[in-house]
Structure 1
Amino acid sequence: MGNVVSLQKPPESEAGIERLVGLVSGDMARVNEMILSRTGSDVQLIPEVAAHLIESGGKRLRPMLTLAGAQMFGYDGSRHIKLAASVEFMHTATLLHDDVVDESDMRRGKAAARMVWGNEASVLVGDFLLGQAFKMMVEVGSLPALDVLSDAAAVIAEGEVMQLVTAQNTTTNEDEYLAVIRAKTAALFAAACEVGAIVADRSADERGALRSYGTNLGLAFQLVDDALDYSGAQANLGKRVGDDFRDGKITLPVLLAYRRGDDDERAFWKRCLNDRQSSEADLDRAIALMATHRALDDTIARARHYGAMARDALEIFPKSDYRQALTDVVDFCVSRTY
């Protein structure tokens, strides 16, 4: 395994998501019941594959954001439960599809569903979950919420295609990469937050603020993921250090190290990523080059920048336990090691 880099954490690294979990725990139990009921099918393979991923220990951050987005305004109905379950189903479907596209062997420390049941089953069960998500959205009866979530689904798919275009291409620039993660990751965070405000019948300004919060939180979340892949904390994610490197993925740490390197270093990155000719020794060198050019530190710095923007988006709301919980989530995402 390559030499790993220990990422320095900011002072707020003690913050977690405990406050958010506590605030939405009652509604989250209802969401979990909804998730289990909507994965039922007479086709036995469907609940088996869905349960494999749904029960594998994910934090379910996105549906919690939907619940908090409604509860912070005092919403006391039940429509946010189905919307939160829809968000989680969209996320789970994306993971099933991603693992097939990326040919991933592991997901959250367990064998990826495609390794157990095959690519075809993973894709089709992902499609089933998307269908269930949209069915619940329709049942909620909110056209604005349906518009936001359906738009997010289309944007996520666009992001997947954009990633295929930029895959193993070291000429990708930072703006192009940010466009990919804005679509693939940030779009669902943004939608998850905004539909909470929609179901609570809040103003366009409040909806926009939560959408901005979610977008910037998602960007920060993904950038930290990029850095973690080359750090010693990666084992806690259920993945080996350097899986992105082995897969030839172009992430921000790679782009920064490539741009800042000399001709010999750029030839190295092209051989390993463009041509997919790499070894474990090459991973050692890749991590060393990232350290030389501060690629990981600067990736985390960019994540902190988007995290600050997410915090600022919350400033229009009065101080409350919910606002503080959403602020804690930013700190957690930026400083997390898992």
Structure 2
Amino acid sequence: MTPVTAEPTQRGTPSVLELPGASERLRSRLADGLTAVNALITARVDHDDPFIAEAGSHLTAAGGKRFRPLLTLLAAELGAGIDERVVAAAAGVELTHLASLYHDDVMDEADVRRGAPSANAAYGNSTAILVGDLLFGTASDIVADLGPEAVKIQAQTFVRLCSGQIRDDRPCPAGTDPVDYYLGVLADKTGVLIATAARYGAMFSGCDAATVETMRDFGERLGVAFQLADDLIDIESEADETGKTPGTDLREGKRTLPVLYVLGSPDPADARLRDLLTGDLTDDARLDEALRLLRVHPAMDRAREHTYAVAREAQDVLATLPDSDARDALHALATGVVTRVG
């Protein structure tokens, strides 16, 4: 199996259904499983109140690759395969993710999500927050039917997810390495839910404890790589590739990995870029200059190599699993996550 070395070439978050590691039979099973997941999400998000139903399905209707539930379904192929419990777990994970997006957009004051108006732009901050809470509750309701262990995992996942978001919104504490701090934030705010997606798939398909732990470990590393790739995309992409405005993280003052590398550079030639990155980037001209300088800075290559290294670590975790179509697809998924361009 080929390790991660390629330059970004794939547009959009990769779907397992598009990866070369998935056989036609595997693709067919995953497609059927995803249809069942989407049907369950649609049914559970529906509401007697038409407004609540509309607001709750706002992001669902906007599309998305269903990356997390697909990972749950794929992990289940390491065991007995996809059944109603796996489908329910996948739907619970996706609804948790969707709920977090409602809250993220309020925190970020976002106007666009998936190429459409964000929920806060469409309905206001208060409604967006409450709908996010409603979706969290719906996800918990689904997971509760899967037993106490699943509920415990969901609760622990939610705690880490929120902790990561809180720490992401705070400056790095004095005396702490900013890169280590940031990678820890990513493990919590993104890695943990992707880890739970993979863990649930193995768990509810009857895999042994060692395989369940392998998938949890794989998923967390994959999640960190996923978010690191998003950080690069925010700097490198054009708006028509992602449906989001390039430089959004910079405008909000977020210190992603390339930014941290620049700020840690003692090179006098970086003085102007450091000044921009530590100043007000709500001004379009300053933001455009910062993007222009950052895109050609060696910090981008350094951050990209770190991103690929994390993906390779995720792939290495899979070495303990027996050969199978599912393992090959998981390996390819790690490559696809970090070589996408939008």
TM over 0.5: yes
Paired residue for 2:48? 42
1:135 and 2:141 correspond: yes
Q: Distance in 2 between matches of 1:308 and 1:244?
A: 26
The 5 A counterparts of 1:1-338 are 10=6, 13=9, 17=16, 18=18, 19=22, 22-75=28-81, 77-141=83-147, 143-166=148-171, 173-233=178-238, 235-262=240-267, 265=270, 269=274, 272=276, 275-276=279-280, 278-291=282-295, 293-338=297-342
Q: Distance in 2 between matches of 1:111 and 1:243?
A: 15
Please state whether the residue corresponding to 2:46 is helix, strand or coil.
coil
Deviation, structure 1 residue 189: 0.6
Kindly tell me the number of residue pairs found equivalent between the two proteins: 326
Deviation, structure 1 residue 284: 3.5
Unaligned runs of 5+ in 1: 1-8
Please state whether the residue corresponding to 1:165 is helix, strand or coil.
coil
Deviation, structure 1 residue 316: 1.3
AA of the residue aligned to 2:133: D
Maintained 8 Å contact 1:145/1:199: no
Maintained 8 Å contact 2:250/2:281: no
Q: Distance in 1 between matches of 2:43 and 2:98?
A: 15
AA of the residue aligned to 1:301: E
Q: Distance in 1 between matches of 2:166 and 2:7?
A: 38
Unaligned runs of 5+ in 2: none
CA distance 1:202–1:268, change in 2 (3 Å): same
Q: Distance in 1 between matches of 2:152 and 2:340?
A: 32
Please state whether the residue corresponding to 1:229 is helix, strand or coil.
helix
Q: When the two structures are superposed, what TM-score results if normalisation uses the length of structure 2?
A: 0.88
Deviation, structure 1 residue 144: 2.3
Q: Distance in 2 between matches of 1:178 and 1:332?
A: 20
Deviation, structure 1 residue 110: 0.9
Q: Distance in 2 between matches of 1:295 and 1:83?
A: 39
Please state whether the residue corresponding to 2:39 is helix, strand or coil.
helix
CA distance 1:284–1:104, change in 2 (3 Å): same
After superposition, the CA RMSD in angstroms is 2.4
CA distance 1:12–1:164, change in 2 (3 Å): closer
Please state whether the residue corresponding to 2:264 is helix, strand or coil.
helix
Q: When the two structures are superposed, what TM-score results if normalisation uses the length of structure 1?
A: 0.89
CA distance 1:309–1:255, change in 2 (3 Å): same
AA of the residue aligned to 2:232: A
CA distance 1:124–1:172, change in 2 (3 Å): farther
Q: Distance in 1 between matches of 2:29 and 2:9?
A: 21
Maintained 8 Å contact 1:189/1:217: yes
CA distance 1:243–1:277, change in 2 (3 Å): closer
CA distance 1:22–1:257, change in 2 (3 Å): farther
Maintained 8 Å contact 1:21/1:64: no
Q: Distance in 1 between matches of 2:248 and 2:139?
A: 30
Deviation, structure 1 residue 16: 6.2
Aligned-pair identity (%): 33
Between 1:129-138 and 1:289-298, the stretch displaced more is 289-298
AA of the residue aligned to 1:108: R
Between 1:200-209 and 1:106-115, the stretch displaced more is 200-209
